[in-house]
Amino acid sequence: MPNYRQPGTTVTTVDNPRIINIAGDTMIPAIVGIGPMKRYVVDEAVTRGVGSTDNLAAYPATTLVTTQIANTPGIAVGSAAAVDIALNGALYANNVAASGSTGTTGIMTWLQGTVPVDIPATGSTYYVTYNYDVPATQFDPTILSNKTSILSKYGSENTASGSLTIAGSIVLENGSPAVMLVQASGSTYTEAIYKTAIDKLQKKKNLESIICVFPSGSVTAASQQSLQTYAFTHVVTMDNAGRGRGLIDGSPSPYSASDGFDTIGDTTTSRTYCYRANAINDRRRMYVVPSRVRRKDASGAYMELDGNYAGCVVAGAKGAQSLRSTPLTGMVVTGVVIEDEKWNEYEMNQLGAAGATVLESRSGVITIRDCITTDATSADTEEESVESVRRLVKRTLTTGLDNAFKGKGVVITSTTVLDAIATTGSILQSLVNAREINKYGQFDNPITGEVAISAIQNAQEPRQVDVTCSIMYLYPMKWISVSVSTFVG
């Protein structure tokens, strides 16, 4: 019996294989800085095994040193309980032949001497406090999305070895879904170890911006600027490779470096904000001021931080945006404390004209006054949101066209050229649909600069197809011009 269908309309949707999905292109900041060279573990709970040995969580570690083994957690050094169990205390004898001995790799060995000693019973819990050198993986780029994970890997917030914890926390507090942290492999700043850390970012794709942070008080402005020059070379190289990212700079204040500064100045006076912003004039760079910000550590004491941490504030706000086209001007930010009403309107206009992004505090509320790059050539180069979209367009076209043609056994014919045009149009239409760009060119208009998508096989290199297209950005509304006339009735 044939299949029966009731009268009516049947609708089937067919996916368009040319529509490119740009979802999931989450871009996060990467921060390079100093971190701890040792990890400190307090009261790790260990269950006593059946044999004579137990493994600590750090196994296999290097140069592990045990400082305390107790039958209960929270035994403070110098307290009444901080003596051996044999003396009515809470501690097992540590690293002696008659009780517990921990090797440098993290193996806990319980030894029974000729005289009975206190050894945990099988299945019971004891608590070990120890430290060990961080493993080589400590220096790998690591993406983290919560403060607990940052604290676990990089330790507490402090201005000596805790700069990555400070910077990463500031980024997350301003809404970024995650942050990539790269620890330089040394306990003190050298340009060489920071360069090695920056180089590790060459293989990373999902980066929106890079910030270098420094231990407070030990790195001069001149040293910071030299390292930032190298970081910008990395940015340019990656931009040319289709993995665009920006560099966010700050400067140290006199509180955090011997040659630090906190002066507006002008483009001809060194060690001033305007001079520095003008010196790093490029659409791929942001320069955030002021150079002095503060933040409380875990004990409630204020830490003196430099302008690079102000850059982390902006980086976190950028990472929080679902669209690159969303301007950050006027956005409320957090994570640091700056001087209230530090500059008047005229002074902040001076800074903006020089290319500085100003953090402004009024009644304790901090906002990004005007989020700009250091290149004021045009709206396309000055507006940070436009520059961010420019990088997005490059990345999306690179990825989309590679996915469509690279490694697919395609040969170039007239059909291939038409396919390249159609795929480019689909990619750009996806960006329009996502509200990242206003529109893309579909006609040739020499007055506006609009150019329709076209493609041609390269005459000199027959293995290459050259595609030409144009886009219109979504520009932030920054000014309203009103003309008022008078009339008489």
- Each domain of the chain, given as residue ranges in start order, spans 28-34+137-385, 38-133
Rounded Cα distance, 220 and 370, in Å: 28
| Cβ contact 396:388 at 8 Å | no
pLDDT for residue 52 = 84
Rounded Cα distance, 205 and 238, in Å: 9
Q: How many CB atoms lie within 10 A of CB 88?
A: 9
Q: What is the 3-state secondary structure (H, E, C) of 133-200?
A: ECCHHHHCCEEECCHHHHHHHHCCCCCCCCHHHHHHHHHHHCCCCCEEEEEECCCCCCHHHHHHHHHH
| Cβ contact 37:187 at 8 Å | yes
> Phi-psi bin for 199: left (phi > 0), alpha (psi -120 to 50), beta?
alpha
pLDDT for residue 298 = 87
Rounded Cα distance, 278 and 266, in Å: 9
Provide the token pair at 124: 């019971």
Nearest to 263 by CA among 286, 223, 294, 290: 290
Rounded Cα distance, 398 and 143, in Å: 24
Predicted TM-score of the model (pTM): 0.86
Dihedral sign (CA 221, 226, 230, 232)? positive
Query: What are the phi and psi torsion angles at 63 (to 5°)?
Result: 50, 45
Provide the token pair at 353: 């004209």
Query: What are the phi and psi torsion angles at 468 (to 5°)?
Result: -120, 135
Rounded Cα distance, 170 and 42, in Å: 26
pLDDT for residue 100 = 60
| Cβ contact 309:170 at 8 Å | yes
> Phi-psi bin for 355: left (phi > 0), alpha (psi -120 to 50), beta?
left
Length of the chain: 489
Provide the token pair at 76: 């403070």
Rounded Cα distance, 190 and 196, in Å: 10
Mean pLDDT by 10 residues, the chain (489 residues): 55 43 66 94 93 90 88 89 84 63 82 64 92 94 96 93 96 97 95 98 93 93 97 96 93 93 96 98 98 94 96 97 94 97 97 98 97 96 96 92 93 96 96 96 94 95 94 94 93
For residue 159, CA distances in Å to 117, 149, 309 come to 44, 19, 12
Nearest to 306 by CA among 284, 319, 287, 327: 287
pLDDT for residue 98 = 43
pLDDT for residue 19 = 40
H/E element holding 356? strand 356-362
DSSP, collapsed to helix, strand or coil, labels residue 433 as helix
The residues near 396 (Cβ < 8 Å, ≥ 6 apart) are: 20, 22, 25, 427, 430, 431
pLDDT for residue 12 = 46
| Cβ contact 457:464 at 8 Å | yes
Provide the token pair at 373: 């790059």
Provide the token pair at 31: 């921060």
Rounded Cα distance, 167 and 305, in Å: 10
Rounded Cα distance, 104 and 73, in Å: 22
Q: How many CB atoms lie within 10 A of CB 476?
A: 19
- For residue 13, how far is the Cα from the chain centroid? 40
pLDDT for residue 117 = 60
pLDDT for residue 121 = 86
Rounded Cα distance, 134 and 128, in Å: 18
Question: Does domain 28-34+137-385 bear CATH number 3.40.50.11780?
Answer: yes
pLDDT for residue 86 = 76
Rounded Cα distance, 325 and 323, in Å: 5
